[in-house]
Structure 1
Amino acid sequence: MDPGIYPAVISYLKKEGEKMSEKNKLCVAMFDEIALKKRLIYSASSDIVEGYVDFGMEEGRTGEMADHALVFMLQGLHKKFKQPIAHYFVKGTISTQKLVVKNVIKTVRDVGYTVVATVCDQGPTNVGALNLLKRFCGNPADSNYFIVNKEKVFIIFDVPHLFKSIRNDFLNGGTLVMANKKAKWSHIIQLEEKNRSTLHFTKITKLHVDPKFRARMKVKLAAQILSNTVAAILKLLSKISNSREMLQSAEIIEDLDRLFDCTNGPSSRHDMKKKIRENVRENSFHHRLWIEYKEKLRSLHFLI
């Protein structure tokens, strides 16, 4: 596959889309970067030197060496499908990435699909490109969409990445305030020390409370330390020590755990049936949670 939008894939999507209803052609455009080693390699088959920034036929190549590959994929909202549609070799070019995002969405819409949202992580290049797209169509900085061909495209940040960012900000600041309650990271450190000496839970370790380097990038560690298990143990310790502050830490961690479960949706219908088959009823905690914590989300902030 050459860099840029894949013509053969777009042709295939157009052909398949002719058999699909408009509802089944609703989709999101996901994109992410993967780090690359900088190197130049001569390709005898194409008679070019590979390793430079390359935006395909849309924007061409530059003289800079690429350090990331940017990949786009479509995912259906109602019909189950995932399809990579483009890749580019990039080097932190926010303005060009903005143009690439717009071109991909336009191309997909031209063959009959409706891209209702983008999904990406909060990498500075991604955020910068999306902010440029918002400013280009005259939207305020705090808006959650941009316009392509007079239609809204909503901006969604990857939930596991957001949860990891919450953990990192909580760890760095030491204090997290949510709905007039205050959690302290020092309470989690105390819990880990207690666990090391007496409790021995395998998912509460030194690495969880003091992640270094690549460990900070692992969602699993963030989900395990901001979990219902940790909240339950903190509640028990708060009763033993009669600590109202520790109880507040437990309650906030419990809220974050439930929030993560409700927003990090299943990856397929099979997973949905397996994981939440008895929970998505009108009286389930999922529905009550969104009503109860709608205002809490707006009040979430960190004290550094």
Structure 2
Amino acid sequence: MTIEMNSSEKYVAVLFDDMSILPSLHFNEYTGFIEGFEDMGGDIFDSYIADHVLMFMIRGLKKQWKAPISYHFSSRGGAKTLQMKRLLTEIIRKLINIDLKPLTVICDQNNISVINSLMNDTKEKYLRCGNISTYREGSFEIDEFKVYPILDPPHLLKGMRNNFIKKDLHYSKNNVRKTAKWEHVRKLYENDNGPIDGLKVLPHITDEHIYENKIRKMKVKNAPHIFSQRFASTLQLVSQIDSANKIGTHVEHTSELLFFSIVYLTL
């Protein structure tokens, strides 16, 4: 495959994540083995029944292609940091050996301990060699190949949303301190109605987007609907014509945050 690629097309991202599965056992009549136990690759097996699957895939950074490359079954709440670190290191080495260039690794915040461990190992190597001044923060190395980890942007939005519904978010722009409030988001939703039933500016926004007791906090899909150009521009427009302050004061602070968050995370 790599023979047909030019140099820039060989740059890939390695993605990994784990998810819970229903524990079960299955007899494979072709191999004669009972499947469903923990299996973390190689000759490492366990008698515990798997309840999580860990998946690795690669995706082209320039050319649009993707491929699953490895999956592993773990138990007792999912794969441990050292297990994922070992597997990720092996996968990156194998990709390098077939002349691919794994420039980045993408995971969610739940697996940040794997990335931190690899970065700490790299930093310690530079310290031992007396070259710490040349170490580049925010990266790690596998066999001298530099890899830049990235946290999955949709999950960052989800985490930001989950904090935003509980606390005001403070930020600065042009040395001016500003405060974004979830209250503005909620009031825009509650005031998005008129004399004609079903006629709304934001018809796709529902209670599951707005109210804390109805938001599915582990789900990603609704968060980008709030952190979006459409919601932010609507909030800004309302703030300009809302002479009665039904939405609140300094609503433009919230609309700016919603818009620039999605712009930043999608760069």
Aligned length: 242
User: What TM-score comes out, normalization by structure 2 length?
Assistant: 0.80
The partner residue of 2:244 within 241, 244, 266 is 241
State whether residues 38 and 45 of structure 2, in contact with CA within 8 Å, keep that contact through their aligned partners in structure 1: yes
In structure 2, the residue matched to 1:296 is none
In structure 1, the residue matched to 2:224 is 223
State whether residues 106 and 151 of structure 2, in contact with CA within 8 Å, keep that contact through their aligned partners in structure 1: yes
**Structure 1 vs Structure 2 CA RMSD:** 2.5
Which structure: greater helix fraction?
1
Deviations 1:252-291 (A, max 9, x none): 223224335x42xxxxxxxxxxxxxxxxxxxxxxxxxxxx
Gaps of 5+ in 1: 1-15, 264-304
The answer to whether residue 64 in structure 2 is matched with residue 89 in structure 1 is: no
Pairing of 1:274-285 with structure 2 (within 5 A): none
What displacement does 1:181 show?
Answer: 1.2
In structure 1, the residue matched to 2:127 is none
The partner residue of 1:32 within 2, 17, 20 is 17
State whether residues 226 and 254 of structure 1, in contact with CA within 8 Å, keep that contact through their aligned partners in structure 2: yes
In structure 1, the residue matched to 2:151 is 157
The partner residue of 2:40 within 55, 67, 75 is 55
Q: Distance in 1 between matches of 2:104 and 2:18?
A: 18
Counterpart of 1:39, as a letter, is S
The answer to whether residue 138 in structure 2 is matched with residue 144 in structure 1 is: yes
State whether residues 102 and 148 of structure 1, in contact with CA within 8 Å, keep that contact through their aligned partners in structure 2: yes
In structure 2, the residue matched to 1:190 is 187
Q: Distance in 2 between matches of 1:246 and 1:56?
A: 53
Gaps of 5+ in 2: 125-131
Q: Distance in 1 between matches of 2:262 and 2:13?
A: 26
The partner residue of 1:171 within 162, 165, 178 is 165
What displacement does 1:147 show?
Answer: 1.1
Q: Distance in 1 between matches of 2:214 and 2:46?
A: 32
The answer to whether residue 116 in structure 2 is matched with residue 122 in structure 1 is: no
What displacement does 1:197 show?
Answer: 6.2
- Seq. identity, %: 28
Q: Distance in 2 between matches of 1:106 and 1:235?
A: 49
State whether residues 17 and 56 of structure 2, in contact with CA within 8 Å, keep that contact through their aligned partners in structure 1: yes
The answer to whether residue 98 in structure 2 is matched with residue 111 in structure 1 is: yes
State whether residues 59 and 66 of structure 2, in contact with CA within 8 Å, keep that contact through their aligned partners in structure 1: yes
Q: Distance in 2 between matches of 1:28 and 1:189?
A: 37
The answer to whether residue 93 in structure 2 is matched with residue 99 in structure 1 is: no
Counterpart of 1:232, as a letter, is S
Moved more, 160-169 or 199-208: 199-208
User: What TM-score comes out, normalization by structure 1 length?
Assistant: 0.71
